[in-house]
Amino acid sequence: MTVLSVSTSAAAAQRVDALVIGTAKGPKGLVLAKGAEAVAEAFEGKLAELLTTLGASGAEGEAVKLPAAAGLKAGLVLAVGLGEAAEEGYPAESLRRAAGVAARALSGAKKASLLLPAASAEEFEAVALGALLGAYEYTAYKGDAGKGPVGDLVLLTDRKGSKEAKAAAERATALGEEINRARDLINAAPNDLNPKAFAAIAQAAGKEHGFKVEVWDEKALTKGGFGGILGVGNGSENPPRLVKVAYTHPKAKQTIALVGKGITYDSGGISLKPAGHNETMKCDMSGAAAVFATVVAAKRLGLQVNITTWLALAENMPSGSATRPGDVLKMYGGKTVECLNTDAEGRLVLADAIVRAGEENPDVIIDVATLTGAMVFALGNRTFGVMANNDELRTRLHGTAEAVGEASWPMPLPADMRKGLTESSIADMANMGERMGGGLVAGVFLQEFVAEGTDWAHLDIAGPAFHEGAAYGYTPKGGTGSAIRTLVRFAEDTAAGA
């Protein structure tokens, strides 16, 4: 695991495998970003020229290595691109991505020092978090794990900035390690991570960090009347679970309820997914992973807010005991739902959990889910949708996501779409409505289970939760940990009275 630290030692004195500097695209070609001065001096002012000769331009995502000059004790210099040159500082997201590129390029190195242009707490944290996320590798099933991630990453600063840098590194470590924990859960094979195993991981985290964890097994779910969770899990030999993880702070004035979709594998059930759509369905528990990582991060950061997290865990499989299209499920709270499509299962487990979460009268409920392919069609692979029954809450969440570098977009909850869901001739609702705008239909369905007067938001992370292409910036192939940074910042702002 990569370890972060802070040093005020001179760059030239760093005995490391690599010194990482930033470059940018200036009006006349490549320019060196602030922080690279000592390294440039060792190259007698010719560093920019050398990098240009090697093909560097300062573009975002670029990484160019060259041997260190004689005056440096490092083995090599790694120049990473920041994009367009900026005189007043670079955007935090540009710093995160550049640090992530650097960490990936340094796979196998024992130690490296980061000289990216950071002066404020926000900039230090961006560099630190980007580096930790970029260094992530998932090797649980590989006999030969390869070179492994970079061992130690050192943030270099002067004495004036050391206090801010150390605080930023500590926060980035807590947040980065929990995002990477979520990535591990998402990447785990579904034969290892079933609902019972996920619940056990939550219980272990509760013991480690000192918060309360409650688990409803299949018997407790039956007794409690959780028809949505049970209906989805009926077809699997691995029975479902509902897990409550509660973090409380003695000075907290508000309570946030987080609900996560935790379908540890989604075959579609009797409404079986077509070939080519099953292979990555281990990631259908990304919402549960996100809210779980958020509550652990909040505890580690000591946020002055109460967070109650609900993990709605089930495996959606076809079998003789599976829920059939046409079956009617009695949901927790009493509503009946005609299940017209068993592949619209996420909304069923979430509905049960939302009703249960609402019974504790939180100030706000936020659910997170890889809920609909329709949202991917609407927003692509890197942007999640934000819906809410409160315009101010939707705007706040969208702004929070943008502020932490997570792409999101506010989406409506059209009232006219409710009609298609409530036209079942035999139940209160159906789990399917009109075909077009499927992501919005799902949101409208969930809204029906929110207690009157409770602020609620829904994040559909179906696009960015799992990345199937090549790694970029600090985003790896596989599970990404989408929405965690947004939720943690939302919790921080709530604690601060926002």
Residues with catalytic roles: 273, 347
484-495 helix and 391-403 helix, angle to the nearest 10 degrees: 110
CB 16 within 8 A of CB 74: yes
For 373-383, letters b (16+ CB in 10 Å) and e give: ebbbebbeeeb
Tokens of 150: 């970079």
Q: Which of 70, 120, 125, 65 is nearest to 93 (CA)?
A: 125
Residue owning tokens 């619940």: 199
Tokens of 160: 């004036």
Give the bridge partners for 114, in sequence order.
20, 155
H-state helical runs in 79-152: 92-105, 121-134
Give the whole-angstrom CA distance, residue 83 versus residue 66. Answer: 20
What's the chain's length in residues?
A: 498
Give the whole-angstrom CA distance, residue 73 versus residue 326. Answer: 71
- Using CA of residue 298, residue 459, residue 204, residue 152, what is the dihedral sign? negative
Question: How do beta strands 241-247 and 212-216 pair?
Answer: antiparallel
H-state helical runs in 150-266: 159-187, 195-209, 218-224, 227-233
Give the whole-angstrom CA distance, residue 182 versus residue 176. Answer: 10
Question: How do beta strands 306-316 and 455-460 pair?
Answer: unpaired
